[in-house]
Amino acid sequence: MKPKRAVGDGIISAVIKICGYSSILFVALILFFLMREGLPALWDVKPSSLIQPRWYPIEGYFGLLPLVMGTLMVTLTATLIALPFGLGTAIFISEIAPNWVKVVLKPIIEILAGIPSVVLGFIGILVMVPLLRKFLDLPTGLTAFTGAVLLGLISIPTIVSVAEEALNTVPAGYRQAGLALGATRWQTIWGITIPAARSGILTAVMLGIGRSLGETMAVMMVTGNAAVIPAQWDSLFRPVRTMTATIASEMGEVATGSVHYEVLFLIGIILFLLSLAVNIAASAISTRQRKRADRILS
């Protein structure tokens, strides 16, 4: 009996181990593939050509600046929109709402998370684009801002569910202690519950940013895709072209191995590095927070 059980255990733990390590392997393989296809662009295209202000690949203009800045502007604005809404909703669901509201709200938010981004893109084109143009008196409603609002909508459910989970893991005793010391409900939420759940909330924000950074379809449909460097004060309300939209719309017709193909993979590498940077920044902040909390507790 005993050795048989040991063998069974051994097999299962080996399988689980393989599953765990395979994700590392996949990331490594993806990175290797990106590097192999994209890095030759650095030799084939002059660096001065990569930082020029124009992107028009079919005639050899490979300026990446408009694309990188376009993505950064749309993602940052989307995060600024999604953050208050997402965190507010999470706090409401976890701390304030009565039970029956929770039961209704949570599935609704999960449905919102399940709506395909193409559908949101359609709504964006048909509803938001004309509305924004009329109300803000813009030349066109296909702007960075339109994309950012849609991306905000797309990343809110991610932020809500992860942040709400984090708030739920805060022990009830913390809240009770706060209230018992005479703090108001709001003081308890702001001063105790949120700081206690900070690292989970940061993860939520990070996942939200990652979601906006990588989203393609909805952005491609509503931002107008004009590769202009957003350098004017009203650039947020002008068309932009993001990196993801560029890859998606140009990869289909590009000849494998051509310079254009390599540069598209180089854009992929830049996207990869950006999300890596977001990850590293967030994990650095959350570990620093934990140390401070440890100090206070000790």
Partner 1 sequence: MRKFLTSLLLCCLLLQSCTADQNASSGSPAITSYYLENKGSDTIVNLALAWAEAYQKIHPEVRISVSGGGSGTGLTALINGSIPLANASRQIKAEEIEAARANGLDPQEFIIARDAIAVIVNPENPVRQLSLEQLSAIYRGEITNWSEVGGEDRPIVRLSRETNSGTHVFFLEEVVRLGSKVDKTIFSADTLLLPSSEGIISEVRDNPNAIGYDGLGYVTDEVKMVALSSLETPDEFVLPSIDTVNDGTYSISRNLYMYTGNPPSGELKAYLTWITSAEAQQIVTSLGFVPIIIPEPAK
Among positions 135, 253, 296, 298, the unique one binding partner 1 when judged by CB under 8 A? 253
Beta carbon of residue 121, minimum distance to partner 1 (angstroms, whole number):
9
Phi/psi at 72 (5° precision):
-60, -45
Q: Which long-range contacts (CB under 8 A, 24 or more apart) does 253-257 make?
A: 254/57
Regarding 221 and contact with partner 1 (CB under 8 A), the answer is yes
Beta carbon of residue 65, minimum distance to partner 1 (angstroms, whole number):
12
Instruction: Compute the distance between CA of residue 132 and CA of residue 141 in angstroms, rounded to an integer.
Output: 5
Residues of span 262-291 touching partner 1 by CB under 8 A: none
Region of 109-117, 128-136, 145-153, 177-185 interacting with partner 1 (CB under 8 A):
128-136
Neighbour count for residue 70 (Cβ, 10 Å): 30
> Cα-Cα-Cα-Cα dihedral of 55, 116, 159, 68, to 10°?
0
129/192 with CB nearer partner 1? 129
The three-point CA angle 194-79-83 to 5° equals 30
Beta carbon of residue 126, minimum distance to partner 1 (angstroms, whole number):
7
93/218 with CB nearer partner 1? 218
CA distances from 251 to 23, 49, 248, 277 (A): 26, 20, 6, 25
Contact between 242 and 70 (Cβ < 8 Å): yes
54/198 with CB nearer partner 1? 54
**Residues 145-184, mask of contacts with partner 1 (x by CB under 8 A):** ----------------------------------------
Tokens representing 298? Answer: 């000790």
Contact between 51 and 64 (Cβ < 8 Å): yes
Residues of span 44-63 touching partner 1 by CB under 8 A: 53-54, 56-59, 61
CA distances from 48 to 52, 54, 107 (A): 6, 12, 51
Regarding 70 and contact with partner 1 (CB under 8 A), the answer is no
Regarding 21 and contact with partner 1 (CB under 8 A), the answer is no
Among positions 236, 254, 269, 293, the unique one binding partner 1 when judged by CB under 8 A? 254
Q: Which residues bind partner 1 (CB under 8 A)?
A: 53-54, 56-59, 61, 66, 118, 125-126, 129-130, 133, 139-142, 220-221, 224-228, 238-239, 241, 249-250, 252-255
